[in-house]
Structure 1
Amino acid sequence: MLRLTFATGTEPGKWFARFRRATAHGVLETLDADDTIAVLLAGGADVALARLPLGGVDKRLSEDTVHIVRLYAEERGIAVPKDSVFAEMKETVDPRDVADEHVNYRIADDASLDIDAIREGLQVVAANVGIVIAPRPLLKVLSKKQVVPLGLKDPSVPQTEIALVWLKDNDSEAIQDFVGIAKGRTLNSSRHEAPKKTSREKAKAKQARRSEATGGAKKSSSPKKSSARGSHQRRGRRG
């Protein structure tokens, strides 16, 4: 069994499905959490899909005691009212265009986030007041109907990245297999502990391979016959 906690705003459902389908580690328990590092350190999960400062580490973590596998950087985002001119005109907002807007929430200089404060800020935006600046994937998940999450082209806003984090003392084959899936390793990789097939499944797979081989042989012979007929016809015309 593998227990995994994933950060609010991430959508790792496809990884969960591949892990369950491609490995034999038993049950995969998943938990959505605003603070996955806290869940991990409290022993509530074996591995955390966490949000970290880009290129940095959460202050509660020590790289001497945890493994960190960085997966991708999150796009900077801005949440605006649905009826604002920005929602109607632009997909990515220039910071100069919103310089006069009231900021209900902005990601901290160390790229840390207060998810509850973001939720509260978005409620104010939904009332057609101000903006919220946070990772765009997070804004997409938390925003309601009256709020539009857009990209923000502002290098002064710290970026976050999504990473897998687990304690070195708790390393396991199940964690390694999930890391491989998250990094795009193919299902046929020898690193995966593949589920064992029954005798019936093995027989079916063998039969399918034979059928494919037979079909391929028939297809490959067809062009030769066509070529021979064409050659015979050309010789007949010359005679």
Structure 2
Amino acid sequence: MTGSEASPSFRLAYVPGVTPAKWVRIWNERLPDIPLTLLQVASHEVSDVLREGGADAGLLRLPVDRTFFSAIPLYTEVSVVVVPKDHVITAAEEVSVKDLAEEVVFHPLDDVLGWERPPGEPAFERPATTADAIELVAAGVGLLVVPQSLARLHHRRDLTYRTVVDAPQSSVALSWPEGATTDLVEDFIGIVRGRTVNSTRGRNAPAAQPGRKQSDASAARRKPAAAKKSTGRNPRGSSGGSRGAGGSKGTGRGKPRRRS
């Protein structure tokens, strides 16, 4: 037993910057009787939430512990540097790590890019969160390199960003405990992989109907024969002329029968 019967809803954790809206919409269309509950979880906490059964699956950033979790990579994000709008870096469409060498670059404790040390000059202390680092960038005391989705999430009118072509990148994946691959997890895997509702790999795919093709083919063979039979019955036509040749029904002009 896969255990889906014990869970009346599907709980999906997701980390900041990831947008599950498209997949949630498809889920609601295909499985309207099974609610999908969304749980936003900090990137450094999502693995513990999945381990403890707080969610059935999660949209998270790699890497994960592959000895415990299964994972399907979905996409890799571009990394960008967040800067004030009047910063000199905005003169270029994209920059390299070397262009940040003389800048103070923040390294928040919830960093998701995984580099040992960001480029540039280190800040006096590490901000606790990416949101805190964004506030410091707005104050004009440093810059921040993050996945593009996080730059958009923390958008401010006084800030902008530019692509950093050679910075580490963040990959987003669907992950779940390997020992808890339920029917509902399989359904969600099918959705994120783009399978159609009638996919033979999906749990909700219609069962095969043996013999249907054969019966359809037989019906197709019978149809022309039936059509031929119907077209052969020509009222008052030439094909019925042999009955009329005897003078009884064909012309209606036979000799009257004598009454007894």
Q: TM-score range by the shorter chain?
A: 0.5 to 0.7
Larger deviation: 65-74 or 179-188?
179-188
Query: Counterparts of 1:45 and 1:132 in 2: how far apart (Å)?
Result: 31
2:88 is aligned to 85
**What whole-Å deviation, never above 9, does each CA across 1:70-115 have from its counterpart, x for those lacking one?**
111121221111222333x33322333332111122743269xx99
Match of 1:4 in 2: 12
Secondary structure of 1:108's match? Answer: coil
Q: What residue in structure 2 maps to residue 162 of structure 1?
A: 172
Amino acid corresponding to residue 38 of structure 2 in structure 1: T
Q: 1:165 deviation in Å?
A: 1.1
Q: Which residue of 2 aligns with 1:171?
A: 181
Residues 1-239 of structure 1 aligned to structure 2 (within 5 Å): 1-23=9-31, 26-35=34-43, 36-52=46-62, 57-58=63-64, 61=65, 63-87=66-90, 89-105=91-107, 107-109=113-115, 116-154=128-166, 157-194=167-204
Cα shift at 1:10: 0.7
Alignment check: 8 A CA contact 2:105 2:142 kept: yes
Contact kept? 2:59, 2:174, Cα under 8 Å: yes
Report SS of the residue matched to 2:37: strand
Give per-residue Cα distances to partners, 1:178-221, cap 9 Å, x unaligned.
1121122234323345599xxxxxxxxxxxxxxxxxxxxxxxxx
| Range 98-107 or range 170-179, more displaced | 98-107
State the superposition RMSD in angstroms.
Answer: 2.6
CA distance in structure 2 between the aligned counterparts of 1:6 and 1:18, rounded to whole angstroms: 17
Letter of the 1:15 partner, please give it: W
Give the gaps of 5 or more residues in structure 2. 1-8, 118-125, 207-260
Would the alpha carbon gap of residues 9 and 124 (structure 1) be closer, same or farther in structure 2, given more than 3 Å must change?
Answer: same
Gaps of 5+ in 1: 197-239
- Structure 2: how far apart are the matches of 1:161 and 1:25? 32
Three-state SS of the structure 1 residue aligned to 2:131 is helix
TM-score normalised by L of structure 2: 0.63
Contact 1:81 1:126 in 2 (8 A): yes
Task: Report the structure number with the largest CA radius of gyration.
Answer: 2
* Contact 2:84 2:160 (8 Å CA) reproduced: yes
CA contact (8 A) 1:140 1:149 kept: no
Distance 1:146 1:75 in 2: 21
With a CA cutoff of 8 Å and minimum separation of 6, indicate the structure with the bigger relative contact order. Answer: 1
